[in-house]
Amino acid sequence: MWLLMVIGSLVLLHLVIYSSTPTYTIPFSNFTPLEKFIIHHSLVMPAYVIVQVKVNEPIEYEVYKSLTPASIHAYGGRFIVRGAAVETLEGSWAPGRLVVLEFPDKATAQAWWDSEEYATAKAIRQRTAETEMILVEGFVPV
């Protein structure tokens, strides 16, 4: 796999240096299917943890909120959304509290969720709130 990443990186570098188009546009139409596969799979896709939370014990939940950021940052993650007001555009989904975290990749997000750094905070959250949590890979356009 590392060889595919190296080859993909070299192809991208060649495009940036020698392309007459702006560097943010990569003309993939001239590449073979194998070259497209190599380039696409050499790009790291971010991953997102999306959490719907119903807080049952607000005072104890504040402890969770104070413990969580350090564990997220330790794994290269960051908050994208943290409890801001939610507006339903379609359907009946109306979460009271919504949190979206971004991590460098899916494996790192999973490692954070399984980590000792997050274990104490996770136990508090599971005791003080009802949550729905998913992990989804982001999208890197080709």
pLDDT tens-digit profile of 52-66? 999 999 999 999 999
Q: Residue 132: beta bridge partners?
A: 52
CA distances for 91 relative to 33, 54, 87, 112, 133, angstroms = 39, 19, 11, 32, 19
Q: Residue 136: beta bridge partners?
A: 48
CA distances for 102 relative to 51, 56, 82, 113, 117, angstroms = 12, 25, 11, 13, 17
Whether 33 shows a pLDDT value over 90: the answer reads no
Predicted local confidence at residue 48, as pLDDT: 97
Q: Which residue has the higher pLDDT, 27 or 32?
A: 32
Burial class of 36 by CB neighbour count within 10 A (0 to 12, 13 to 18, 19+)? middle
Measured CA to CA, the distance from residue 3 to residue 38 in angstroms comes to 9
User: What is the layout of strands, in order, in the sheet containing 47-55?
Assistant: 78-82, 97-103, 47-55, 129-137
- Which residue, chain included where needed, has tokens 């104070």? 66
Whether 18 shows a pLDDT value over 60: the answer reads no
pLDDT tens-digit profile of 57-104? 999 999 999 999 999 999 999 999 999 999 999 999 999 899 999 999
pLDDT tens-digit profile of 94-134? 998 999 999 999 999 999 999 999 999 999 999 999 999 99
pTM of the model: 0.70
Query: Of 51, 72, 46, whose CA–CA distance to 137 is shortest?
Result: 46
Structure tokens at 100: 């979206």
Question: Mean pLDDT, the chain, as a whole number?
Answer: 82
Predicted local confidence at residue 4, as pLDDT: 44
